[in-house]
A and B are shown apart, each in its own frame.
Chain A
Amino acid sequence: MNHLGFELEKIKIGSFDFTCCEGCQLQLANRESHLPDFLALLDIRNFREISSERLDDYDIALVEGSITRSDEIRRLKSIREKAKVLVAFGTCACFGGVNALKNKFPQEETIRTVYKDKLVETMPAAKISDFVTVDYSIPGCPVSKKEVEEVVVGLVTRSLVTLPKYPVCVECKQRLNTCLFDLGEVCLGPISRAGCDAVCPSGKTVCLGCRGPAEGVNYDSFTELVKEKGLSTEEMNEKLAFYNGFTDYLNHEG
């Protein structure tokens, strides 16, 4: 590939899943009309959902899922050693995701509920940056394929890769949506990172912050407004805990 005199190379990529639904990896195969161009940028070395070939020489590792077992830590670390760039891919990898909901309950209880008497090793669900250095994060439940395409193009062309720093409200207002607070709901849009094109509020479903906090979030004012509007702070805290993206805030509040 040649671009304006620069030789561009396909990126050698591996896609790996840990504790997750593999929905984010599946997103890689979405936007079918873009697939030929998208795949032309990639040299896929390891991706069990689309190929049985397993090669260990990859430059970029997309890591999906949270970490819930000790063997996962070892596997994650070995991926980190091989990859030049490691991408936390999806909400579970970035924050722990819905898996982290179990962290609120005693471990024995969660095992018994799901596996009955079978002995299963498990530990509190954690984000991958608790164990390895993460170079890029693509949050989202699931990730937005459009954003993945932009990141891949950025990596191939070695141009700047960024996520929006502002909250979902910007995109929500641009879609002329009715503010869900006006309908009496607690929506995390004002404190959650944009880039999803406000897909949930556009479908009249509140934002649960799957992309984590926006930058420079004003938690105090947000909590205040929930109270002032007579809405439930309990409900707010439940929503903040949903994807485990707001742990700094929740820990701070106790």
Chain B
Amino acid sequence: MIYKVISKPEFRAFVDALVRANTSYGPRQVDTDRNGDPIYQFMPVSSADEIAFDYTVTTSSAKHLLMPFRGELSRFNFSDGDWKQQVDYETQPIVLIGLRPCDISAINILDEVMLKGPYPSPYYLARRKNTFIIGMDHLPLPDCFCKSMNRHTVNHGFSLFCSDIGDRYYLSINSAKAFSCLKEFRIDDPTDEDNCRLIERRKLIKHSFETNIEVSGLPVFLDIEFDSPIWQKWGDKCLSCGSCAMVCPTCYCYSVEEQFDLDLKGSRRESHLYSCNLVDFAQVAGGHNFRPRSGDRLKYRYYHHYRGFAANDNQQICVGCNRCGRTCLANINPKDVINDLRLERESCLTCVSTSPDKA
């Protein structure tokens, strides 16, 4: 890692040059909600002027730019009673601007899932290797809980990371490409004062969190609570609409669908990002549905996020961005669900807190 500082106007000029030369995505205001607050999304940008550098949070994550909601996996061409499969991994390089530490952590988790397993995804690899990421820190929103998940800082997975130290950005440069791009612009070595300001900035961020979730020991907790009535309670609220998984930066489950071309001379196979909350997620050939109840489906989503990966890979795949919580129309959010579980167990412990009967 190389550390530099850059003035904000110079940084803007750098970003402008970068986005004018490349297919780029950055935070843009797309709407104003009923309370007058801006709504942001990662959208295509073609100049620095289009980027909302001071944005709060995007409604949806940047996941779909690496794992498209619908992506073609292969094409089949039929001829002479036989077929040929064509697979195309090629992808255009893209620049992603303004990702938060939680967003970059989420991509690092997707790397683990899509690339480190026994069957790495060449589709994901092609996109990931061709993605230039500029991260930017921010002061947490009242409902952000990435600190609880230890995802409020990130030290890899980006090309360049910017910390806001007032009139300048403190740059952590993590790729040769980023460094050579920056050479065209005025960057300086950090002074002692810059270093102090960076430390202050990090302290400020760390102490600005208003939402904390106790996740230590959560995998064991979830094991114990497998049959808890809590799941049905939250399941009764769940609309099974899949919005949480769509906006989530780490929900990666997808279905595979095949479709003939209209001329019947070929067909295509596509991946469709799916959600374990959708009614037919666990429906198999013949029609049996292993999880017809929404409470069970909700439970398994929480298990995947907070238990499965912690047990197998020593990390939870939730990064604490709370996009799911904000988007859920039924007001289901990780903080309330997890606290509810813990509360139930604690009250249960109270009632059995007398010494076990030795009789």
Contact = CB atoms under 8 A, between A and B. Distances in A.
A and B: interacting chains: yes
A38 B261 CA distance: 10
A169 B242 contact: yes
Contacts of A222: 239
B358 interface: no
A218 interface: yes
A169 B294 contact: no
Contact of A157 (B237, B264, B273): B264
B22 interface: no
Given A174-B69, A176-B59, A165 B39 contact: no
Contacts, number: 119
Interface in B218-273: 236-243, 246-247, 259-264, 273
Given A4-B83, A176-B59, A215-B280, A183 B31 contact: yes
B240 A216 contact: yes
A73 interface: no
B213 interface: no
A153 B262 contact: yes
Interface stretch (B179-187, B312-320, B326-334, B347-355): B326-334
Interface string A29-64: 000001001101100000000000000000000000
A221 B237 contact: yes
A91 B321 CA distance: 40
Interface centre among A1, A41, A191, A221 (most CB of B within 10 A): A221
Contacts of A5: 81
Given A166-B280, A178-B30, A218-B240, 7 more contacts: A3-B264, A34-B262, A153-B264, A166-B240, A221-B238, A222-B239, A228-B331
A39 to B, nearest CB: 10
Given A4-B81, A178-B39, A183-B33, A190 B239 contact: yes
Contacts of A215: 279-280
B70 A174 contact: yes
How many A residues are at the interface, by size bracket? 35 or more
Contacts of A178: 30-31, 33, 39, 59
A221 B239 contact: yes
Interface string B20-50: 0000000000110110000101010000000
A166 B241 contact: yes
B131 interface: no
A199 B34 CA distance: 22
Contacts of A3: 78, 264
Contacts of A8: 264
A220 B236 contact: yes
Nearest to B292: A216
B30 A1 contact: no
Contact of A174 (B237, B241, B260, B273): B273
Interface of A: 1-5, 8, 34, 37-38, 40-41, 149-150, 153, 156-157, 159, 165-167, 169-170, 173-174, 176, 178-179, 181-184, 189-191, 214-216, 218, 220-222, 224-225, 228
Contacts of B33: 178, 182-183
27 contacts: A40-B263, A153-B259, A153-B260, A153-B262, A165-B279, A166-B242, A169-B241, A169-B246, A170-B242, A170-B275, A174-B64, A174-B69, A174-B273, A176-B30, A178-B30, A178-B33, A179-B327, A179-B329, A182-B39, A191-B239, A215-B280, A218-B237, A220-B236, A221-B236, A221-B238, A221-B239, A225-B331
Contact of A167 (B41, B239, B261, B327): B239
Nearest to B281: A166
A150 B259 contact: yes
B278 interface: yes
Contact of B34 (A165, A184, A190, A191): A184
Contacts of B81: 2, 4-5
Contacts of B242: 166-167, 169-170, 173
Contacts of A1: 264
B60 interface: yes
Contacts of A38: 262
Contacts of B279: 165-166, 214-216
Given A179-B327, A220-B236, A166 B278 contact: yes
